[in-house]
Amino acid sequence: MKTLLVIDDEYALLDTLRGLLEDEGYRVLTSEDGRTGLDVLAREPVDVVLLDLMMPGLDGRSVLESIRADPRTTDLPVCVVSAAAPGVLGALTGAAAVLRKPFSAAQLITALELALAQ
């Protein structure tokens, strides 16, 4: 069973994704901000991260940079989700996959599988 960490400031979305992805067979961990997300990564083995870009405090870009800079997580697949324009998402370095909000469950599953495959 793969472990997925979802980092997103929208708590309602977190609850929804938890239920959805647990049904898909993932073990789901959640964090509502970037700092807490990095704390979880420091103590829990995670197979893939679903990371929101726009968050208060430490935003998604900063979290992604921290993940890549840490030798323990440098190769960790990260799927970035955001309502940002494709150009912005495409310019991100270090993301294994990008998913534009709003997304369907099918699109989410496909993006996670793509991230895990890399």
Partner 1 sequence: MVTNASPPSSSSSDADPPRDAPPIERVPTGVPGLDEVLGGGLLRGGTYILMGPPGAGKTILGNQICFHSVAHGGRAVYVTLLAESHGHMIAHLRGLRFFDAAPIAEELTYVSGYRTLEREGIAGLLDLLRKQVREHRSSLLVLDGLVSAGSFAESELAFKKFIHELHTLVSVIGCTTLLLTNGSSKPISPEHTMVDGLIELSDSPRGLRSVRELSVRKFRGSSHYRGSHFFEIGEAGVVVHPRTEARFGLPHDALAQSRPVSTGIEALDLMLGEGVLEGSTSLVMGPPGAGKTILGLQFLAAAAATRESALHVGFFESPDRLQRTSDKLGLPLATMGNDGLLTYEWQSQGELLADAIVTRLLAIVDRRQVRRVVIDGLQGLRQAIVYPERLPQFLGAMAAELRRRRVTTLITDEQTEPRSRKIAPEPGCASHLENLIELRHEEGEGAYRRCIAVVKSRDFAPDARVRWFEIGPRGIVIGTGSIQRDAAFAAGDERDRAAAPQSAEEPAEGAGRPPRRDGQG
Return the residue of 23, 44, 57, 118 that touches partner 1, per CB under 8 A.
Answer: 57
Return the residue of 1, 12, 106, 117 that touches partner 1, per CB under 8 A.
Answer: 12
Return the residue of 84, 96, 108, 111 that touches partner 1, per CB under 8 A.
Answer: 84
Q: Does 67 engage in binding with partner 1 (CB under 8 A)?
A: no
User: Which DSSP letter does residue 75 get?
Assistant: T
Could you give the CA distance from residue 110 to residue 41 in angstroms, rounded to a whole number?
23
Q: Does 35 engage in binding with partner 1 (CB under 8 A)?
A: no
Q: Does 69 engage in binding with partner 1 (CB under 8 A)?
A: no
Beta-strand relationship, 97-100 and 78-82:
parallel
Q: Does 11 engage in binding with partner 1 (CB under 8 A)?
A: yes
Identify the CA nearest to 41 among candidates 24, 16, 58, 56.
58
Could you give the CA distance from residue 40 to residue 72 in angstroms, rounded to a whole number?
13
- Determine whether 15 is exposed, middle or buried from the number of CB atoms within 10 Å of its CB (0-12, 13-18, 19+): exposed
CB of 86 to partner 1, least distance (A): 8
CB of 102 to partner 1, least distance (A): 3
Binding site for partner 1 (CB under 8 A): 9-13, 32, 53-57, 59, 82-88, 101-103
